[in-house]
Amino acid sequence: GRGNFIARLEGRSGKAGLMFMSHTDVVPVEEEEKWRFPPFSATIADGRVFGRGASDCKGLLTCQLMAMRILKRNGVELEDSLILASCADEEHGGRYGFGWMAEHHPEKLAAPFAVNEGGGVPIEAAGNLTYLLGVGEKGRLQLEIEVRGTSAHASTPWQGTNALFGLSEVVKRIEAYEAERDTSTSLFQHLSIFAIEDKPSPENIDQIIADTEGRNPRFASIMKALSRMTITPTMIQGGIKSNSVPESVRLTCDVRTLPHQDEAYVRQELAKILDGIPGVEIEIDYMSIPNSSPFETEFAQRIQISTANALDRDDIQWVPSLSTGFTDSRFTRNLGTITYGMVGSHPDDDPMITFIHGTNESVGIRSLISGTKIMLALAYDLLAVK
């Protein structure tokens, strides 16, 4: 079964002041033989811990557990309580994890502030140390496109209508789709930090991204993701036998939406893409609506101060950002909790080699240490009796 883990370090007031969030489940391993080390071995090499889930999300959970343990071991008295919640099912939508907890036991998650995955990683910005604070996330829909034809024996294919040919047209159209450009998210108000002087607009954002690609490919990728909806084919099902013309095939797509793009907008765009292709039916499962917390809050300032103290750096710049993926933060934001993505990666740890969801996923030991320090500093600052 799926287990949801809740721990609580009690404070004098009896009410919670901060929640540490993470998740215990991981995505499957696709081709184990391609891994440098066994994917569930937690092998330490080159200053990193290798294994499925090392970065998503066991590294963050480790930092949070260590911070809580240090507080307890040293007898630090808290005014308000600290909650640690690590739930199951995040990788499949969270319905039986934080979603279930929020619906059936919201009192267990009741806290004014929370930190989770989805931000808190350094990024190069004109030579300055800059962190992206995850204030929100794009929406996520699972799209099922079914293409129907007429079955026949494969030796006389002209007697049927091969659904795969219709599907190939669907895939070509999705690949050619030019999504509407949008620069309304808060990240685009802070481009000067990245030595980008042009004011971004839907008309020039592609050029800005192209100009940035050579010197800062990671930030260019972030801008691309946050300036448009994406539709990505991920799985195909169809056919019953190698000598039969398939009557039906199904394409699964991952769709990520910006804050103003609701289901009606998605359906409108799909109608344009699929126009004129016969035998097409669609199903949409809206797994996560876009969501956010405000950037200008006292809690955000506390995170910035705690990070500066933990890293002994007074030169850190902060930029609000939306996560391109979805997290469990949407459930706590719906409960009224100001929730930020903040994992506390080390400034010198390259996030491009973590390979989240990929082969040779890993987390840097430096980031485990810095993340623990930041979580500890934040909990102490917010909760400890001074």
- Residue pair 161/244 in contact by the 8 Å Cβ criterion: no
Residue 340: name the closest of 385, 298, 308 by CA.
298
CB 290 within 8 A of CB 182: no
Would you state the pLDDT for residue 43? 98
Beta strands in 225-276 (DSSP E): 230-238, 244-245, 248-257
**3 state SS of 350:** coil
Q: Are strands 291-292 and 128-137 parallel, antiparallel or unpaired?
A: antiparallel
Q: Mean of the per-residue pLDDT values for the chain?
A: 96
- pLDDT tens, position by position, 101-124: 999 999 999 999 999 999 999 998
**Chain mean position to CA 139:** 10
Q: How far apart are CA 251 and CA 272, in angstroms?
A: 17
What is the C-alpha separation between 147 and 350, in angstroms, rounded? 43
Query: What are the pLDDT digits (tens) for 167-200?
Result: 999 999 999 999 999 999 999 999 999 999 999 9
Q: Where are the beta strands (DSSP E) in 280-364?
A: 280-288, 291-292, 317-323, 338-341, 362-364
**d(Cα 40, Cα 360) in Å, to the nearest integer?**
11
Choose among 107, 48, 115: nearest CA to 86. 115
Identify which of 230, 249, 252, 251 has the alpha carbon closest to the alpha carbon of residue 239: 249
Yes or no: domain 139-288 corresponds to CATH 3.30.70.360: yes
Beta bridge partners of 231: 255
Q: For residue range 198-224, what is the model confidence (pLDDT) as tens digits?
A: 999 999 999 999 999 999 999 999 999
Domain 5-120+325-383 has CATH 3.40.630.10: yes
Query: What's the rounded mean pLDDT across residues 128-141?
Result: 95
Residues with Cβ < 8 Å from 81, sequence gap 6 or more? 8, 9, 10, 11, 13, 14, 15, 16, 17, 383
**Beta strands 113-116; 338-341: pairing state:** parallel
3 state DSSP class of 363:
strand
**CB atoms near residue 189 (< 10 Å):** 14
Nearest residue to 57 via CA among 95, 18, 17, 97? 97
End-to-end CA distance of the chain: 42
**pLDDT digit string (tens) for 36-75?**
999 999 999 999 999 999 999 999 999 999 999 999 999 9
What's the pLDDT at 1?
63
Q: Quick one: DSSP state of residue 332?
A: H
CATH 3.40.630.10 residue ranges in the chain? 5-120+325-383
Domain with CATH 3.30.70.360 in the chain: 139-288
